[in-house]
Structure 1
C-alpha cells in the first residue's frame, strides 16, 4: 500500500505558518442510468451533495511506524507506457464505471460508532541504500554552453495588489466535485492543480500525490497511490469552475501516473510536478524528486529538481537525465521551480526543498531548455552562468515561500507571483514589471483563518488583470478547489 507520510503534514498551518491518441485500447463500461441535470459550480449533478470542507479534527489517524531496511538502489524505474482511451458519457452525471467506484464501504468499527477517530498503524520501511553496482548507461549529454555575464537592472517596485471579493468557486477533484474525479478516474484525493496553456485553446492541469480506494484524509492516505496525474480543460467559463475534458488514463476509469517514482522512503518516496509550459509541440514539466518527508512542518528533502518533456501532447513523458539541479547539502535552490516562457527566454523561478526559503531566478534560451549549462542566474544586478556547476542566485523575493506559481500577464505587461507565505499564514500575490523585480509587497488572497490547512495557490493562465483565478489545496480535505480574487 502506498501513501504519503504523516510527516507531510507540513501543509498544515495553525496560525503560525505554515489526445488521447488513436489506435489505443478503448475502455468501456455499462453506465448507470437516471442522470440528474448538471449544476455548474457546486458539483456535476443535482444528485451530488454540496461539497463541504472536512473538519480539521480527523476521523482517521494513520501513523507510519518506520523500521530500517538496508537495500540496493537499483536506479530509476521504467515509465508506465500503457494508455487507454477513455470515452466518457456525454452526461457528466453518469458514472461510467460503477463496478469500480461504487463498491460498498466497510461497516464502521466500534470506535467509529462511538465517534472516536480510527487509528491505523502502518509499518513503513526507511531505506539505507547501497550504490547500484550496475548503473544504467546515459545517452550523450548536451553540448557544453558558455553563457556570458550580462547586466540586468531591476525595475521600480510596483504597489502591492489590492485584493477583494475572494471566493471559493468550486471543488475540482474528489467526491461531489465539479468533475466527479472519484467516479470517472478513481481520483478520491489529490492536491496542487498546477496549470499551463498546453495549446492555444487548452489548459493542462497537473496534480501531485493521488489516492483512490480507501481514501481517508487528512492528507493523501489510502490505496492506489499515484505520484502525479494530468488533466486537460478547454472551458473558459471560469466563474463556474474548471471542467476537465479528459485525464491521461491507463485503464478503465483510471488516471495514469505520468512520472514514475520508486516509492521507497529515503531513496525516492515520490516525484511531484512543480510547473509546466509548452514550446511548440513539446510540453515541459518541472518536478522534484523527493527523497523523504521530514518531520518538521513545511519541510522535506529532495534528491534534485528536474525537467521532463512530452512530444505526444502529455500522453507519455521522459525525464531528461541531464536537466537536473542536484540538492547539494539540502539547501540548493531550484528544487521547486516555476518556469515561464517569455520573449526569447524561459525564466525559472526557484526555491529550496521546503516552504521556508527565498525565491531565486534563472533564465535560458528557449532552444536550450534541457541544457543546464546554458542557464544564467540572476545575481545582484547581472545574469551570470553557474560556476563549476554550482548555481547561485540572489533572492528576488525573501523567505518564506512555498508552492511557487508565476504568470506573465500579456495584456498588462506585468508579472504575477503567487505562493504560500507561512509567515503570513496564507496564500499571497505579488507583481513586478520585470522577472528580476523589484517585486511589490505581497497581498494575502486566502488566509489560514478561512482555511486552516491551505496550501498551493497556482494561477490559472487565463486569469485577467482584474480576475485572478487560482487553485488551492487543503490538507484536511486533500483535494483541489478553484478560487477567485479581484485585483484592483
Structure 2
C-alpha cells in the first residue's frame, strides 16, 4: 500500500471500526459498508478454490489504481463497455469517499451514485489500469447524473449497462426509491443518459424512461448487447432473483421506446408492445451479456438465487439459454454480486468484474473456459 493510502487508513481507523461489515450475501442498502482494508476483514484478494481466480483489485485503498487519489475509497457495479474507439469506459455505482456524510441516505460517507473512469487495457492478465476519471473542480470523481439522494424520492441513480452507438455513449440507469430487504430494492424508473464527449458530460434522456409499472417494470435493471445492427436490451425487475426479458431495437433508435420489439417466446413482437415480452431465464440478479468468440456462443453472467456467480450459454441473443454453470460458489465468496464481462476478447480466458460487498470494492476475476 502506498504512503497516502497508509496515512488515510490511519486517520480513518477509529471511525471505521464502528461501521457494519457484511458477512451475509450482499445486502440491498449499500450505505452500511466499510471500505477500509483489514478493518472490514479483507487482507488481499479473495482466495478462491473453484474454477475462478481473483486477479486484481480495481478500486479502493488496496488497489494499484490508487482511486483514493480522486476520493474513491469504495464502490460497486463496475459496468464496462468499449467506447467504439478501442478505449474501455467503466461506470461505477454507489461510491464512498471522504467529505460531508450523507446522513439522510443513511451513509456516514460522502456519497456519489455514478462515476466513470477510462482505460486502454486490452490484456487484463496483470490487471486493468485506469488512465483518466471524470472529475469535479476539486479533482474528485463526480456524479455524471445528479441524484437528490432523498429516501422515498430518489436515494440513488445507478448505472446498470453501457454501450457506444456511432460515437455516442449511452448508459442505462435505475432510479432507486428505497432499499428494501437483502437483495431487494424499489425503483421509480429506468432510463437512458447519453454523452457525446466520451463520458465527460451526460444528458438525462427523460423521454426514454421506463416507469416501474406494468410490463415496463420488467426492464428496470438492464444489460446491453450489440449484434447484427440491433441493440439487445436484457431487463429484470428491480432487485435480485428475478426473471429476465429481452427487447431489441435498431442501433439508431436506442432512445425511442416506441421502436423496441420484444421476444414473445417464439418470435419478435410488433414495435412498442412491451406487454408481449416473455421470460427468457430465471433467478437473475445484475446481468451482463456478450458474444464469446472462443465458445462461438453468447454468454451471460449473473448471480443465482443462492448468490453464486453463474454463466449461461446460448446460440442466439434471445436463447434458449443453458442451465447455469457456477463460476464462483457462494460458499467461497458469499457477498459477491454484479458480474460484468470485460468487453474485449481474451481467448479461452473469461475476465469479468464483480463487487465484493464485505469490502465494498470491485475485483477483476478470471475463469478459464
Q: What band does the TM-score fall into relative to the shorter chain?
A: 0.7 to 0.9
Post-superposition offset of 1:453: 1.0
Whole-Å separation in 1 of the counterparts to 2:215 and 2:98: 34
Whether 1:309 aligns to 2:194 is yes
Instruction: Pick 1 or 2: higher relative contact order, CA cutoff 8 A, min separation 6.
Output: 1
In structure 2, what is the Cα distance between the partners aligned to 1:164 and 1:211? 31
CA distance in 2, matches of 1:359, 1:200: 30
CA distance in 1, matches of 2:257, 2:215: 19
| Other-structure match for 2:335 | 453
Between 316-325 and 268-277, report the one with greater CA deviation.
316-325
Change in Cα spacing, 1:118 to 1:408, as seen in structure 2 (3 Å) is closer
Equivalence for 2:88: 203
Q: Does 1:468 align with 2:350?
A: yes
Q: Rg larger in 1 or in 2?
A: 1
Shift of 1:280: 1.8
Aligned to 1:366: 251
Of 249-258 and 347-356, more deviation after overlay is shown by 249-258
Identify if the C-alpha distance between structure 1 residues 267 and 443 changes in structure 2 by more than 3 Å, giving closer, same or farther.
same
Distance 1:276 1:370 in 2: 13
Matches within 5 A, 1:286-297: 286-294=172-180, 296-297=181-182
- Match of 2:252, SS state, is helix
Matched with 1:189 is 74
Q: Select the residue among 280, 285, 288 that pairs with 1:396.
A: 280
Task: Find 2:155's aligned residue among 269, 275, 294.
Answer: 269
Instruction: Report the counterpart of residue 299 of structure 2 in structure 1.
Output: 416
State the Cα distance separating 1:222 from its structure 2 match: 3.2
Aligned pair partner of 2:117 in 215, 227, 231: 231
Alignment match, 1:406: 289
Deviation at 1:232, TM superposition (A): 0.7
Q: 1:148-171: per-residue Cα shift (whole Å, max 9, x none)?
A: xxxxxxxxxxxxxxx964110011
Deviations 1:424-447 (A, max 9, x none): x30001111101111111101111
For 2:142, the equivalent position in structure 1 comes to: 256
* Distance in 1 (alpha carbons) for counterparts of 2:8 and 2:19: 22
Indicate if the aligned counterparts of 1:215 and 1:221 stay in contact, CA closer than 8 A. no
Residue 221 (structure 1) shift: 4.2
Structure 2: distance between partners of 1:443 and 1:118: 35
Q: Distance in 1 between matches of 2:132 and 2:313?
A: 33
SS in 2 for 1:262: coil
For residues 136 and 316 of structure 2, the distance between their equivalents in structure 1, rounded to whole angstroms, comes to 42
1:178 matches 2:35: no
Match of 2:265 in 1: 380
Match of 2:203 among 318, 327, 332: 318
Contact (CA 8 Å) 2:247, 2:262: kept in 1 or not?
yes
Higher helix share: 2
1:188·1:215 contact (CA, 8 Å) conserved in 2?
Answer: no
CA drift of 1:407 comes to 0.8
Q: Alpha carbons of 1:94 and 1:244: their partners in 2 closer, same or farther (altered >3 Å)?
A: farther
Pairwise CA distance, 1:118: 5.9
**Greater displacement, 264-273 / 445-454:** 445-454
Matching of residues 6-405 of structure 1 within 5 Å: 48=1, 102=8, 105=11, 108=14, 117=18, 165-182=51-68, 184-213=69-98, 221-294=107-180, 296-328=181-213, 332-385=217-270, 390-398=274-282, 400-405=283-288
Checking the alignment, whether the CA contact within 8 Å between 2:293 and 2:347 is kept in structure 1 is no
The Cα of 1:418 is off from its aligned counterpart by 0.2
**1:124-168: per-residue Cα shift (whole Å, max 9, x none)?**
xxxxxxxxxxxxxxxxxxxxxxxxxxxxxxxxxxxxxxx964110
Moved over 3 A (4+): 101-104, 106-109, 389-392, 410-413
CA RMSD of aligned residues (A): 2.7
Alpha-carbon distance between aligned partners in 1 of 2:19 and 2:138, rounded to the nearest angstrom: 31
The offset of 1:358, in angstroms, is 0.7
Gaps of 5+ in 1: 1-47, 49-92, 120-162
Separation in 2 of the partners of 1:255 and 1:348?
Answer: 28
Could you tell me whether the CA contact under 8 Å between 1:331 and 1:353 is conserved in 2? no
Between the two proteins, the alignment pairs up a number of residues equal to 337
Is this contact kept in 2: 1:308–1:318, CA < 8 A? yes
Question: Do residues 428 (structure 1) and 310 (structure 2) align?
Answer: yes
Cα distance change, pair 223–406 in 1 and its aligned pair in 2 (3 A): same
In structure 1, how many angstroms separate the alpha carbons of the residues matched to 2:362 and 2:265?
37
- Cα displacement (A) at 1:471: 0.6
Q: Secondary structure at the match of 1:367?
A: helix
Compared CA separation, residues 410 and 104, structure 1 to 2 (3 A): closer
- d(CA) in 1 for partners of 2:202, 2:113: 14
